[in-house]
Structure 1
C-alpha cells in the first residue's frame, strides 16, 4: 500500500500546480469606467490598463455546444410546426389562426385541410421515436427525421443505402416477408434471391439501384404488415407505418435513380409489383399506376414472350419470368379501377408455370407436383382462371365500343364459369351469418380459401352489380340481382367470421370486400326495405356497424359507413316508396336476347361521375341526398360496389318523394 500512498501524495502536489490548459480563476471584471475611477483615486499606484476578455473555450467544446443548440432549435421548430398543424386540424379559433397563418384566404374544410392532415402526419413521422420489437429492430425505424431529410434533399444512391437497417436486421425483415407472402405471392425464387441478398452490401449496392428498390419495397410491405400486429400500441403502430412509408418512397427513389423507365430490368418489374400490392392494402391511389408501369416494363423486357431456348436464360430464371408474367396478367385483368386492360390476349405466348416448390426448381430441371398441391403457384393458378373470366367480362360486358353483341347467354355463361371455379375451392361453412374459420394449424389453407373465394365473389358482384336495382324493377333480371346479393352477403360473412384477434383479420382484403358488400346491401335495402332480402341485409349491416364502432377506421371505411347511414336514414323517414312500372310480360328472357347497350360502369369507374353528380345535385329537390356518392366516386376508384349514375338518379327519387321511378324502364332490352 506504500507505493500507492506515495503516488497519491506526489499526485496531489503535481495537481496543485496549474496546468497550462487550465483556466485560471481571476477577479471579476468591473468594467472599464469603474477601473479608471479606482485607479485615479490611488496616487501611489500607476494606472494599469486591463482588457475585458472572456475565457476562451477549446474548439471541441464549442462545436459540441453549437451542435446541441442546433438540435434543440430544430426540435423546437418541429414542435411548433406540429402544434400549429394540429391546432389547424382541431378548428380551435386561436390555434387555427396560427396553423393556417400561411394561407389566410383558404376556407375551412377546403384544400388546406388535406394538406394540413398530410403535414401533421409528416410532422408526427419526423418526431416518432424508436421501437425495439422482436420483429423489427430499432434500426429499421430509427432516425426518422434523418430519413426524411435524406429523401427531401436530392439523395444519391449512397444516401439511400444509408437508410437500410443493419445487415442482420435487413435479412430478418426480408425473410419474414418471404415466409409470410411467398406461398401466395411468388415474386422471386427464394434460394436465388437469398443468395443475392447475402452478397448485397453497401459497396455493391450503388451498382444495383433497381435491386435496392426491390429490397426497399419488401421492407415497406413487411413493416406495414407489422403495424397491424395485435396488441401493438398506437405509438408503435404509427412508427412502423411511418417507417413503411419511408421505405416505399425510398424504393421509388431508387427506381428513379436506376433509370427504370429508360433501362428496365426484371428487378424493376418485381419492385413495382410489390409496391402495387403494398398500395392495394393501403388503398393508395398510386397502386394502379404502379401496376400499369409494371405491365409496360414487363412487356419491354419480354416477359410476355416465351423465353424457352433463349441463350443465357437459365431454367430458374425462365420459371421466374413465367410466374411473374402470369402474376401481372392476373393483376391487370382483375383490376377494378376502371382503367383499360394493358394486356391483349394476342400479345403473349408464355407457357403456364410449373406447379412446384422453389426447392424443386434447380439449374438442371424442375420436378413438378401434382395439381392442386399447395405450392406457391396454387393461388396464382386460381387467380388465372378468374382473370380470364374477368377479361371476357371487361371486353364484352363493360366495353366502350363492343365488337360483338352482348347477350343474356354471355352473362349466364360467365356466372356459370364463376360458380364452377367457386365449387372447385375448399368449401365454406357458416354459423348463422358468419363463416367458421379453420383451426390455427391450417392457417395457410384457411388464408388460401378465403382469398380465392373473395376474388370469385368480387367478380360475381362486378358482373351482376348493374342488375341490382334493375332486377328489382324488372323481374326478368331478378336472377342476376340474386347472384349479386348472395355474393355480397357471403363477403360480409367472411369479415364477421374472423374477429379482431384472428391472424386473418389483419389482412386488408377482408375489410375491403366487406366495404363493397355493405354498399350493395345498403342500396338494395334502400330500394326494397320490406322485400325478401331486407331482413338479412339489415341484420348484416347492423353486425358490421356494431363491430367497427369505437375502433380506428380507415378513411374509406368511414366514408362507406357514412353512405350506409345516409341511406338507412332515408328508409326510416320515407315509409312510402314510389311505384315501379308494371311490365307487359315478366317471362324470363331468352338466352339469345341481345342487350341494347353494354352494362353501365359504377360511379367509381365513371370518368365523368363528378360532372354528372354536380348536374344531378343542382337539379334535385334533395341535393344533400344527391351528393351522397360524390366523395366516394372521386377519391376511391377501386371500390366496385357503388351504383352507376342512371341507377342512382332513379334511387334519388325515393328520397325526393316522387310518385314513380324507372318510368321509362331499365333500358337494357328493347321494349
Structure 2
C-alpha cells in the first residue's frame, strides 16, 4: 500500500483536515471515536517514516476523513491550508476516489474490521450528501451490512456475547464504535423508508433480528479500551445525544411503515384515526425531546449556556426538528388538500402548513448557526430536497386557497425558499443537477400547461370530495418568461433573478387552478420519489 499512501497529505495538513472533520462532520455523523482515530492517523504517519506499509483499511478511513473535511471546507480552513475553494473541491473528489479505489481494488482485499466499517460508513455518509442517494451509496451500505453480519455485530449484546467479553476481555472502544456503526445503518435504513424516495415503504433491518444496545450517551474521552466511564441520561447533553435522538426518530418512521399500507404495494386507504394516532406519537416525540433540543423560546433560553459550551447542539437541534417536521408533512400530505374543504381532515391541512413553514424557518436558521459550526446547509442535498418539498406544499396551498388571510405571507415564504435553492447552486457543483431537477419540477408543470392557459381567462378550482369549488381569475401566461426558463425538454437554461421569480409565481398561480387533486399528487410524488440518482 506504499504506492497509494503517497497520495496522503503532509502530516501538518492531515492534522488540520482531521480536526476540521472532527468539529464539523463528526457531530452530524457521530460514528467515529475521535481520540482513537486520531491515534490511528498519527501511527500511520509514523509508520510511513519508518518505511512501513499502512493497512488498506487504515488508508481508506484516512482518505474518507480527508474527503469529508474537503467537502465542508470553510474560508478559515482554506487559509490554514493556503488553498482555494476550487482546490478543495478537487481534493474532495481525489480523496473520495482513492478511498473507493482501495475498497474496490480486486487485489487489495479489505479485511472485516471496525476500522473498515467506519471507513465504508463514512464514505456512504459523504456521498449521500453530495449525490443524493446514488447507486454507489446503496452498494456501500450493503457492503457495510454484509461485513457487520460477518463480524456478528447484530448479536453484539446477546447474553452469550456479553459473557464472552467478560471472560476473554475486549477493547470497549471497538464495542462502542460497533454499536454506533450498527445503529447508524439501522437509523438510515428506517429514515429512508419514510423519506420520499424509490425506497419508501420498505426497510431492511427488523428489530427482532438484532440485539445491539444503543451507544452510550457520553463523550469520547470517557470511553477507553477498558470500559465506559460515564453513561448519562438524555437530559445531559453529550456528543452522542443527537445520534440517539436520530435513532428514536427513525424508529417512529419504521412504525409508520409497519402501520400504514405501502403506497407502492397497496391502494387501501388507512383509517384516518390511524393517521392521528401516528401523528400523536410524533407530537409526543417532540414534547419529550431534551430541553436543549427543543425550539420554543423558553427552552432555547434555558439552553443558551449549553450551546455556548457545545456550539454544535444548536445545529443538531435544527436537524432533529427538520427530520421530524418533514415526516409530519409526509404523514398528513394525502389529506392536506381535502382538509381545506372537509372539516374531518382539517387537522391534516393545519399540520402540513405548520410543518412546511417550520421547515423553511429552520432552513433560514441553518445559515446563521452554520457560520458558528463551519457548516453550510446549501451543500447538503438532503436539506435541499426537504426544502423543495415544503415549498411545494405551501405553494399548492396558496394556489388552492388564494383568499386565505395569510396567503400573501405564504407566497413570500415560497419565493424565498426557491431563491435559497437557486443560491445553493453556488455552494457546491455536486448539487447542481439535484437542485435543477427539483426546480424544474415546478417549471415543467407550468410549461406543459402553458397552452391551456392561453385558451382560458377564467377557470374553476377542481371539485373536492365535498363538491365545493372556487372561481379564480387566470391571466394569460407569458410565453417569453417560460421560454426563458425552460427549454423544450424541460431543462433549466437560465438562472432566475428576483423579477423572474415573481413572474414564475404569476405563472404558477395561473396554472394551479387547472390542476386537479390527482395532478397535484403526481407533482408531489415526482419530488418525493425521484430525487437525483447518479453513480459516483
Q: TM-score, normalised on structure 1? A: 0.58
User: Do residues 577 (structure 1) and 431 (structure 2) align?
Assistant: no
Flag the 1:579–1:323 CA change in 2: closer, same or farther, 3 A.
closer
* Equivalent in the alignment of 2:40: 196
Select 1:368's aligned residue among 225, 230, 234.
Answer: 230
Q: Deviations over 1:506-551 (max 9, x none)?
A: 1335544322312222233344333466333201012234556667
- C-alpha displacement of 1:466: 2.7
Shift of residue 584 of structure 1? 8.6
- Decide whether the 8 Å contact of 1:292 with 1:342 is kept in 2: no
Instruction: Give 1:448 shift.
Output: 1.9
Q: Which residue of 2 aligns with 1:418?
A: 282
Secondary structure class of the residue paired with 1:576? strand
Q: Which has a greater percent of helix?
A: 2
The answer to whether the 8 A contact 2:218-2:230 is kept is yes
Corresponding residue for 2:99?
251
CA displacement 1:117-147 (0-9 Å, x = unmatched): xxxxxxxxxxxxxxxxxxxxxxxxxxxxxxx
The answer to whether the Cα contact below 8 Å between 1:467 and 1:481 also exists between their aligned partners in 2 is yes
Match of residue 63 from structure 2:
216
The alpha-carbon deviation at position 411 of structure 1 amounts to 1.7
Instruction: Name the residue aligned to 1:594.
Output: none
Distance 1:515 1:179 in 2: 28
Say if 2:320 is the partner of 1:463.
Answer: no
Paired with 1:352 and 1:256, the residues of 2 have a C-alpha distance of 31
Q: For the structure 1 residues 258 and 319, does the alpha-carbon distance in structure 2 shift closer, same or farther, using more than 3 Å as the test?
A: farther
CA contact 2:400–2:512 (8 Å) conserved in 1: no
Aligned to 2:184: 327
CA contact (8 A) 1:461 1:484 kept: yes
Task: Pick closer, same or farther for the CA change 1:583–1:281 going to 2, 3 Å.
Answer: same
Q: Secondary structure at the match of 1:308?
A: helix
1:644-670 Cα distance to aligned partner (Å, 9 max, x none): xxxxxxxx9x9498697679x99xxxx
Could you give the per-residue CA deviations for residues 468-524 of structure 1, whole angstroms, max 9, x where no partner exists?
Answer: 334446543332232222111111011223447834661335544322312222233
Residue of 286, 290, 303 corresponding to 2:140 = 290
In 2 relative to 1, CA 198–317 (structure 1 residues): closer, same or farther, beyond 3 Å? same
Aligned partners of 2:2 and 2:177: how far apart in 1?
A: 29
Measured against aligned partners, the alpha-carbon deviations of 1:28-86 in whole angstroms (never above 9, x if no partner) come to xxxxxxxxxxxxxxxxxxxxxxxxxxxxxxxxxxxxxxxxxxxxxxxxxxxxxxxxxxx
Q: 1:179 to 1:658 in 2, by over 3 A?
A: closer
1:495 alignment counterpart: 363
Q: In structure 2, what is the equivalent of residue 271 of structure 1?
A: 119
- TM-superposition CA deviations, 1:376-419 (whole Å, max 9, x none): 220111111111111112233253557x9943333222211111
Change in 2 beyond 3 A, CA 1:575/1:528: farther
Partner of 2:534: none
Distance, in Å, in 2 between the alignment partners of 1:199 and 1:659 is 63
Match of 2:254 in 1: 391
Shift of 1:348: 0.4
Q: Name which of structure 1's ranges 241-250 and 366-375 shifts more when overlaid on structure 2.
A: 366-375
How far apart are the structure 1 equivalents of 2:279 and 2:114? 36
1:251-284, Cα deviation, whole Å (9 max, x unpaired): 0111123878885332222112111221122134
Distance 1:568 1:496, change over 3 A: farther
Measure, in 2, the Cα distance between the counterparts of 1:178 and 1:480: 40
Map of 2:396 onto structure 1 = 523
Q: 1:172 to 1:582 in 2, by over 3 A?
A: closer
Name the CA shift for 1:255/1:398 in 2 (closer, same or farther; >3 Å): farther
User: How much has 1:455 moved relative to structure 2?
Assistant: 1.5
Q: Does 1:427 align with 2:294?
A: yes
Distance 1:236 1:521 in 2: 39
Residue aligning to 2:411: 538
Mapped partners of 2:365, 2:4: distance in 1? 43
CA distance 1:521–1:405, shift in 2 (3 Å): closer
Q: Offset at 1:165?
A: 0.8
8 Å Cα contact 2:121/2:141 also seen in 1: yes
Partners of 2:286 and 2:92 lie apart in 1 by 35
- Tell me the distance in 2 between the aligned counterparts of 1:629 and 1:350: 50
Task: Determine helix, strand or coil for the equivalent of 1:376.
Answer: coil
Q: Is the 8 A contact 1:563 1:629 kept in 2?
A: no
Q: Calculate the aligned-residue CA RMSD, in Å.
A: 4.2
CA pair 204-477 structure 1, distance change in 2 beyond 3 A: farther
Q: d(CA) in 2 for partners of 1:660 and 1:199?
A: 64
Give the TM-score, by structure 2 length.
Answer: 0.71
Offset at residue 177 of structure 1 (A): 1.3
Quick check: 1:443 aligned with 2:293? Answer: no
Aligned to 2:480: none
Pair 1:528–1:287, CA change in 2 (3 A):
farther
Deviations, residues 443-479 of structure 1 (Å, cap 9, x unaligned): 2221121111111112212322333334446543332
Shift of the 563–183 alpha-carbon distance from structure 1 to 2, 3 Å rule, reads closer
SS state at 2:317 partner? helix
- Equivalents in 2 of 1:459, 1:321: separation in Å? 28
Question: How far apart, CA to CA, are the structure 2 residues paired with 1:379 and 1:629?
Answer: 43
Write the distance in 2 (CA, Å) between the matches of 1:325 and 1:351.
10
Question: Partner of 1:301 in structure 2?
Answer: 151
- Find the aligned partners of 1:218 and 1:530 in 2 and give their Cα distance: 52
Give the aligned partner of residue 343 of structure 1: 205
User: Which is further off, 158-167 or 540-549?
Assistant: 540-549
Structure 2: gaps spanning 5 or more residues: 298-302, 469-484, 493-507, 523-536
The structure with the larger Rg is 1
Instruction: Choose 556-565 or 538-547, whichever is displaced more.
Output: 556-565
8 Å Cα contact 2:422-2:435 kept in structure 1: no
